[in-house]
Amino acid sequence: MCGIVGYTGTRPAEPVLIEGLQKLEYRGYDSAGVCTLDDRGVRTTRRALGKLAALKARLSSEPCPGTTGIGHTRWATHGRPSEKNAHPHESDGVTVVHNGIIENHRELRLELQARGRVFTSETDTEIFAHLIALARQQGLPLLEAVRRAVGRVQGAYALAVVDEKTPGALAFARLASPLVVGVGEGEMFLASDVPAVLAHTRNFVFLEDGDCGMIEAERYVVVDAAGVAVQRPVKTITWSAVMAEKGGHKHFMHKEIVEQPRAITDTLRGRLSFDDAAILLDGVDNGALLSTRRVVIIACGTSWHSGLVGASLIESLARVACSVELASEFRYRDPVLDADTLVIAISQSGETADTLAALKEAKRRGCRVLSVCNVVDAAIPRVCAIGDGLGAGTLYTRAGPEIGVASTKAFVTQLVALHLLALQLAQLRNTMTKEALLEDMTALAHLPIHMEKVLAREDDVRALAQHHVNARDMLFLGRGLLFPIALEGALKLKEISYIHAEGYAAGEMKHGPIALIDDAMPVLVLALPGPGYEKVISNLEETRARGGRVLALVSDDDHSLDDQIEGVLRVPTSHQRTMPVLAVLPLQLFSYHVADLRGLDVDQPRNLAKSVTVE
Ligand code: G6P
Q: What is the pLDDT of residues 491-543, one digit of tens each?
A: 999 999 999 999 999 888 888 878 888 888 899 999 999 888 989 998 888 88
**Among 193, 302, 330, 346, which residue has the most ligand 1 atoms within 8 Å of its CB, making it the best to mutate?**
302
Higher pLDDT, 333 or 64: 64
Mean pLDDT over 551-568 rounds to 92
Top-tier CATH class for 457-597: alpha beta
Ligand 1 atom nearest to CA at 375: 14
pTM of the model: 0.76
pLDDT at 419 over 90: yes
What pLDDT band is residue 460 in, cutting at 50, 70 and 90? very high
**Among 610, 613, 614, 615, which residue has the most ligand 1 atoms within 8 Å of its CB, making it the best to mutate?**
610
Model pLDDT, residue 391: 97
Instruction: Specify the amino acid at residue 223.
Output: V
The Cα angle at residue 62 between residues 126 and 100, in degrees rounded to 5: 25
Tell how far the Cα of 613 is from the centroid of ligand 1, in angstroms. 10
Mean pLDDT over 577-595 rounds to 97
Model pLDDT, residue 1: 63
Annotated active-site residue in 2, 212, 322, 367: 2
pLDDT at 264 over 70: yes
Model pLDDT, residue 29: 80
CATH architecture of 256-448: 3-Layer(aba) Sandwich (3.40)
What pLDDT band is residue 258 in, cutting at 50, 70 and 90? very high
pLDDT at 407 over 90: yes
Model pLDDT, residue 325: 97
Tell how far the Cα of 355 is from the centroid of ligand 1, in angstroms. 10
What pLDDT band is residue 613 in, cutting at 50, 70 and 90? low
Ligand 1 atom nearest to CA at 410: 16
Model pLDDT, residue 76: 77
What pLDDT band is residue 272 in, cutting at 50, 70 and 90? very high
Q: What is the pLDDT of residues 67-87, one digit of tens each?
A: 999 999 997 777 788 999 999
For ligand 1, atom 2, the nearest C-alpha belongs to: 610
Peptide bond into 167 cis (omega under 30): no
Model pLDDT, residue 6: 98
Mean pLDDT over 11-27 rounds to 93
Mean pLDDT check: name the lowest of 15-29, 436-450, 455-469.
15-29
Residue-averaged pLDDT of the chain: 93
Q: How far apart are CA 298 and CA 83, in angstroms?
A: 37
Tell how far the Cα of 199 is from the centroid of ligand 1, in angstroms. 25
Q: How far apart are CA 23 and CA 3, in angstroms?
A: 9
Tell how far the Cα of 370 is from the centroid of ligand 1, in angstroms. 18
What pLDDT band is residue 243 in, cutting at 50, 70 and 90? low
Tell how far the Cα of 267 is from the centroid of ligand 1, in angstroms. 19
Model pLDDT, residue 244: 59
Q: Which of 330, 324, 337, 322 is nearest to 367 (CA)?
A: 337
> What's the chain's length in residues?
615
Q: Which of 388, 386, 389, 323 is nearest to 358 (CA)?
A: 323
Higher pLDDT, 547 or 190: 190
Tell how far the Cα of 26 is from the centroid of ligand 1, in angstroms. 12
pLDDT at 240 over 80: no
**Among 303, 384, 412, 591, which residue has the most ligand 1 atoms within 8 Å of its CB, making it the best to mutate?**
303
Higher pLDDT, 184 or 332: 184
Every domain of the chain and the residues it spans: 3-245, 256-448, 457-597
Mean pLDDT over 371-394 rounds to 93
**Among 1, 403, 611, which residue has the most ligand 1 atoms within 8 Å of its CB, making it the best to mutate?**
611
610 in active site: yes
pLDDT at 242 over 60: no
Annotated active-site residue in 23, 492, 494, 610: 610
Mean pLDDT over 341-357 rounds to 96
For ligand 1, atom 1, the nearest C-alpha belongs to: 610
CA atoms within 13 A on the CB side of 155: 25
299 CB-near residues (< 8 Å, 6+ apart): 306, 307, 324, 326, 327, 345, 346, 347, 355
Q: Tell me whether domains 3-245 and 457-597 share a fold.
A: no
**CB 404, CB 429: distance < 8 Å:** no
What pLDDT band is residue 286 in, cutting at 50, 70 and 90? very high
Ligand 1 atom nearest to CA at 495: 8
Mean pLDDT over 192-207 rounds to 92
What pLDDT band is residue 98 in, cutting at 50, 70 and 90? very high
User: What distance lies between CA 299 and its chain's CA centroid?
Assistant: 11
Q: What is the pLDDT of residues 315-338, one digit of tens each?
A: 999 999 999 999 999 988 889 999
Mean pLDDT over 287-312 rounds to 97
What pLDDT band is residue 92 in, cutting at 50, 70 and 90? very high
Q: How far apart are CA 36 and CA 90, in angstroms?
A: 12
What pLDDT band is residue 357 in, cutting at 50, 70 and 90? very high
Tell how far the Cα of 358 is from the centroid of ligand 1, in angstroms. 15
**Residues with C-beta less than 6 Å from any ligand 1 atom:** 300-303, 347-349, 352, 355, 405, 407, 608, 610-612
The Cα angle at residue 547 between residues 546 and 553, in degrees rounded to 5: 100
Residue range 3-245 in CATH 3.60.20.10: yes
Ligand 1 atom nearest to CA at 380: 15
- Percentage of the chain beyond pLDDT 70 is 98
2 in active site: yes
Model pLDDT, residue 604: 83
Model pLDDT, residue 103: 83
Q: Which of 546, 494, 496 is nearest to 519 (CA)?
A: 546
